[in-house]
Chain A
Amino acid sequence: MLKALRVLRSQGRQYIPDPRRAAPAGFRGLPVLSERPCDEGCRACADACPTDAIALAPLRLDLGRCVLCDECARACPAGTITLGPEHRMASGTREGLVLRQGAAAPPAVAVSEALARRFGRSLKLRSVSSGGCNGCELELNALGNVNFDLGRYGIDFVASPRHADAMVLSGPLTANMREAVELAWAAMPAPRFVIAFGACAISGGPYAGSTVLARELLEREVPALWLPGCPPHPLTFVSGILDLLGIDLPR
């Protein structure tokens, strides 16, 4: 009993009160592309990118492919690309993940009235990893810990697809898992939706060029929420899902 009390006292209060406003110290997050025009013919950033996330003339960075590795920022001779501390980089659309130069809006998630009405007070998630490296899976598990405490919003991971409203996909979707993923999706009752968690799920990420992937499910069922990163920070997930469902919106 005394030991239990000692643990309790040492633990104190751990939860993050407002995940949207949290500023994780040192986090290498959302890339920012300054307005400065690139030098003619320079392709240092694109050549350094391990996932072909960068297109040139005009400069664009596809956050859906980006692994936030910082290689582009370090290669750029002019400091045009910097990776800042912003963790809010979820998008409601795939196109929203393509960043352009200048003060263009970062990715954003609009409230879905339909999803908010159905799931705003209770959302059950089924996680399916298909080629995930355990980076994404660790961060999905972290969502349930005492820091991020996703359960306080009525959002939980459940054991069966039968009980789930949304499937959280992580990993690039391997060919060997194709049937299992399809079966899990088929087992989920409608209404249901897909959340793409991490660069691998969104685009294949570092494995986009692999010949042993099967991404048909994601081509057919367009995710309602795209969560970039390698892996995404749990705060990216929490902020994104709260935005999508219109939970605790800042006034």
Chain B
Amino acid sequence: MSGASTFRAAVAALPTEPKAFFDAAKARLAGGARPVTFWGQPADDPAELTLTLVLEEAGRLDALRTAVPRDRGFHALTRAHPALHVFEREIFEQHGVKPHDHPWLKPVRSPGAGPAGMLRYPLYAVEGKEVHEVAVGPIHAGVIEPGHFRFMCLGEVVHHLEIQLGWQHRGAAALLLRRDPRSLAPLVETLAGDASVAHAWAWADAVEALAGLAASPELELWRGVGLELERIAMHLSGLAGLANDVAFLQGSAGYGRLRTTVINASMLACGSRLGRGWVRACELRLPSDRPLLEPLRAALALLERDVALVDDRFAASASVRARLDGVGALRREQALELGLVGPAARASGVALDARHGLPGALYARLPVEPVVEATGDCWARARVRMREIGASIGWIRAALDALGEPAPFATPVGPLAPSTLAVAVRESWRGEVVHALETDAAGRLRHYQAQDPSLRNWHGLALAVRENEISDFPICNKSFDLSYCGSDL
């Protein structure tokens, strides 16, 4: 179906010769197709590497595939299409197959580099008598995941920021292949633990597609409710963090306690404050026979009333606006060129939202309009999140009206189709989550490509802080609110 957020194809139907693949990729990218993901995996012939490029074009997902000789590599697409930079770096890092003429082939995660390897990271150096470097991390001052930031400064002004990740690398890709793909939910929920519902939903979409099953409208509505609760909770968490970082403590306390309301509502419905267990393949799970409709509606009513009060206070505070307005601005052209996704892209004027672009039956029934701001600065990213909270409250209300009191059910998943590729996209609070699962001839999992939106957005942060003061970095970082572990996997 056009606009569906899941793509399925027989593996045998995909491959083309390298020349045809690259010609088609270039033509379609130049014609406005948007790269969704691009990865490498071992081919049947050990001397070759299989490359798969997934594109979104005219509201549809499509996949292109070829195999290139490992020793010869391939000509990088990045120079013409910078949005592919991190994917080609990842292919080189994981498989040693070189994308020739890639402008900046630096490590993505330094997998298993250990202490010595992490210290050898090729940080870009800016030279000059006036230049000084400031190194921060991997361990930061707050309760936060680790990452290393190296600022090249001229006085207080950041000329360039290098972001070195990989500290969080847990070897998730290998672990995803160790168990029956149909029972991977508890692991998938921890790939980026603040986007458990989004990742689990993309996994479930792909597994169900491989099993030849489709989620019922009720199941899709319920998953949609879980996803929007996750979005509201994390947007409140981000706004609380932003308020805290500009020392606006009433905002931090207010948004923080409202997040508690949301995650406690999630817990009532699924047993976990982080939505763990909300999504299972072909299953609608409820913890007990406790009625949920009424407490969920009550939580939404409280949120709608009290979030508006805090928003009003936050937006009217001169000290908040003085710190956020015009700081960390990323232009629309930059966001498009880098292939940014999620609120970071929307804050820079890019109307990209998988719920809108790839609506499927669910979002065709209950549409979502992308929330877009024009200025691309920290305030725009905060505004997108404030406005999306309101939109999500409305969406959940409509979904609950359509759903009524949810009733649990479970359908056995059954065997997965052999030699089939399924790619699923879901719009997490941070942007699109992409899960691609491929089976072998026996229907076992052959490859699992899980992608968090953070992977593509980190470089957006690096550009946004240029020519800003180093003291504004924390709010720039918080306004992007990217995942370290989701990127490092």
Docked pose: A231 CA to B190 CA in angstroms: 10
Does B27 make an interface contact (CB < 8 A)?
no
Stretch at the interface among A31-39, A67-75, A104-112, A114-122: A67-75
In the complex, besides A71-B186, A83-B271, A209-B175, 11 extra interface pairs with C-beta distance below 8 angstroms are: A10-B309, A28-B287, A50-B187, A131-B169, A132-B145, A137-B144, A145-B253, A157-B143, A171-B168, A176-B115, A209-B178
Residues of A within 8 A of B269 (CB): 26
- B111 near A212 with CB under 8 A, answer yes
User: A132, A138, A212: which contacts B169 (Cβ < 8 A)?
Assistant: A212
Interface centre among A71, A133, A207 (most CB of B within 10 A): A133
Smallest beta-carbon distance B483→chain A, Å: 6
Q: Mark A9-24, 1 if CB is under 8 A from B, else 0.
A: 0110010000000001
B360 surroundings in chain A (CB, below 8 A) = none
Q: Is A239's CB within 8 Å of the partner chain B? A: no
Chain A residues in 8 Å Cβ range of B190: 67, 133, 135, 200, 205-207, 230
Within 8 A of B (CB), among A91-133: 127-133
B129 at the interface (CB under 8 A from A): no
List residues of B whose CB falls within 8 A of some A CB: 110-115, 117-118, 138-139, 141-146, 166-172, 174-175, 178-179, 183-187, 190-194, 196, 237, 240, 250, 253-254, 256-257, 259-260, 264, 267-274, 276-277, 285, 287-288, 290, 305-306, 309-310, 312-313, 316, 483-486
| B154–chain A nearest beta-carbon distance, Å | 27
Q: B184 to chain A: which residues have CB within 8 Å?
A: 50
Do the beta carbons of A176 and B260 come within 8 Å of each other?
Answer: no
Binds B, one of A56-64, A177-185, A220-228: A177-185
CA distance A11 to B260 in the complex (A): 12
Q: Which residues of A contact B110 (CB under 8 A)?
A: 176
Nearest neighbor of A200 in chain B, beta-carbon distance: B190
Residues of chain B with a CB closer than 8 A to A206's CB = 175, 186-187, 190
Nearest-Cβ distance from residue B274 to partner chain A, whole angstroms: 5
Pull 28 A–B residue pairs with CB atoms less than 8 Å apart, ordered by A: A4-B250, A4-B313, A7-B309, A26-B267, A68-B276, A69-B277, A71-B186, A127-B143, A129-B146, A130-B167, A131-B168, A132-B193, A133-B191, A133-B192, A133-B486, A135-B274, A145-B256, A160-B141, A174-B167, A176-B113, A180-B167, A206-B175, A206-B186, A207-B171, A210-B171, A212-B111, A214-B114, A230-B186
| Chain A residues in 8 Å Cβ range of B288 | 26
Check: A51 CB closer than 8 A to any chain B CB.
yes
Question: A218 within 8 Å of B by Cβ?
Answer: no
The complex places the Cα of A24 from the Cα of B287 at a distance, in Å, of 14
Is B271 within 8 A of A146, CB to CB? no
Q: Bits for A133-151, please: 1 = Cβ < 8 Å to B, else 0.
A: 1111111111001110000
Chain B residue, CB-CB nearest to A141: B143
Inside 8 A of A14's CB, which chain B residues have their CB? Answer: 257, 260
C-alpha gap A212/B309 in the complex (Å) = 47
Is A180 a contact partner of B139 (Cβ separation < 8 A)? yes
Q: Is the beta-carbon distance between B274 and A138 smaller than 8 angstroms? A: yes
Q: Nearest Cβ in chain B — how far from A231, in angstroms? A: 7
Contact A145 B271, beta carbon cutoff 8 Å: no
Number of A-B contacts (CB under 8 A): 209
Interface size on A, residues (CB 8 A): 67
A10 touches B306 (CB 8 A): yes
Q: In the complex the two chains form, is B143's CB within 8 Å of A137's CB?
A: yes
A146 and B183 contact, CB distance less than 8 A = no
The 10 lowest CB-CB distance pairs between A and B, nearest first, are A28-B271, A135-B193, A133-B193, A179-B115, A159-B141, A26-B268, A210-B171, A145-B256, A50-B186, A127-B143
Report whether B138 and A180 are in contact in the complex, using a CB–CB cutoff of 8 Å.
Answer: yes
Q: Which of B113, B170, B257, B312 contacts A210 (CB 8 A)?
A: B170
Asked whether B310 lies within 8 Å of A7 as measured between CB atoms, the reply is yes
- Would you give the shortest CB distance from B12 to chain A, in whole angstroms? 32
Q: Which of B118, B175, B312 contacts A3 (CB 8 A)?
A: B312
Question: Min CB distance, A173 to chain B, in Å?
Answer: 10
Chain A residues in 8 Å Cβ range of B312:
3, 6
Nearest-Cβ distance from residue A77 to partner chain B, whole angstroms: 15
Closest to A8 in B: B250
> How far in angstroms is the closest Cβ of chain B from A232?
10
A residues in contact with B256, CB < 8 Å: 142, 145-146
CA distance A195 to B257 in the complex (A): 26
Name the distance in Å between A228's Cβ and chain B's nearest Cβ. 14
Whether B313 contacts A137 by the Cβ 8 Å rule is no
Tell me the smallest distance from the CB of B242 to a CB of chain A, in Å.
13
Structural contact, A184 and B186, CB atoms closer than 8 A: no
- Shortest C-beta distance, B171 to chain A (Å), equals 4
Task: Please name the residue on chain B nearest to A143 by beta carbon.
Answer: B143
Q: How far is the CB of A198 from chain B (nearest CB, A)?
A: 10
Q: Are B274 and A231 in contact (CB under 8 A)?
A: yes
Given A83-B271, A231-B274, A174-B170 contact (CB < 8 Å): yes
B237 to chain A: which residues have CB within 8 Å? 138
The distance in angstroms between the C-alpha atoms of A27 and B288, with both chains bound, is 11
The reply to whether A134 and B276 form a contact with Cβ atoms under 8 Å apart is: no
Q: In the complex, which residues of chain A have a beta carbon less than 8 angstroms from the beta carbon of B285?
A: 70
What residues of chain B lie closer than 8 Å to A210, measured between beta carbons? 170-172, 174-175
Contact A27 B145 (CB under 8 A): no
Q: Are A174 and B168 in contact (CB under 8 A)?
A: yes
Q: Which residue of B lies closest to A210 (CB)?
A: B171
Most buried by A among B179, B190, B273, B484: B190
Instruction: Let me know if B139 and A24 touch, CB within 8 A.
Output: no
The residue on B at minimum CB distance from A70 is B277
Within 8 Å of chain B (Cβ to Cβ): is A48?
yes
A137 to B140, CA, bound (A): 13
Most buried by B among A131, A184, A200: A131
User: How many whole Å from A140's CB to the nearest CB in chain B?
Assistant: 5
Report whether A11 and B257 are in contact in the complex, using a CB–CB cutoff of 8 Å. yes
Chain B nearest Cβ from A175, distance in angstroms: 5
A150 CA to B177 CA in the complex, in Å?
40
Contacts of A145 in B (CB 8 A): 240, 253, 256-257, 259-260
* Contact between A178 and B115, CB atoms less than 8 A apart: yes
- CB of A249 within 8 A of chain B? no
Contacts of B183 in A (CB 8 A): 48, 50, 71
The answer, among A83, A214, A233, for a CB contact under 8 Å with B273, is A233
Contacting residue for B290 out of A26, A50, A68, A174, CB 8 A: A26
**Which residue of A is nearest B295, CB measured?**
A25
